[in-house]
Structure 1
């Protein structure tokens, strides 16, 4: 299930733990092999989850994990983790 927020959401109160989202992005390595990399992020909205995962996707640990494979954040999808 994919949920898209259309209205601004107020900032959560202190101590609030935002929902956990699993954001998956397709990858392609130098040989053309395809795969996926999934990021677990906490965010209040669908858009915020995608943005958080995109910034994480280009951090050093994620780059090292992909071993040079190209990632396509524009094709990412996010689902709420229950």
Structure 2
């Protein structure tokens, strides 16, 4: 099993941080690649962060209402892939 980070993405060249608006999953949920994980408010838009891998959500670090820099670890998905 491998632990995959859920990171704050960069939605535009000028984006430096994003605010967590809503988690659409909970710890223990199984997700498929491209499933919506959370909604983020960036400077000029709101956007969904999608799963890059399939697996189980094992940890959520980022809190709703808080602001995180691009690249920050927001949570983890555990996959069946060997690392």
Q: TM-score, normalised by structure 1?
A: 0.30
The structure where strand makes up a greater share of residues is 2
Query: For the pair shown, which has the larger CA radius of gyration, 1 or 2?
Result: 1
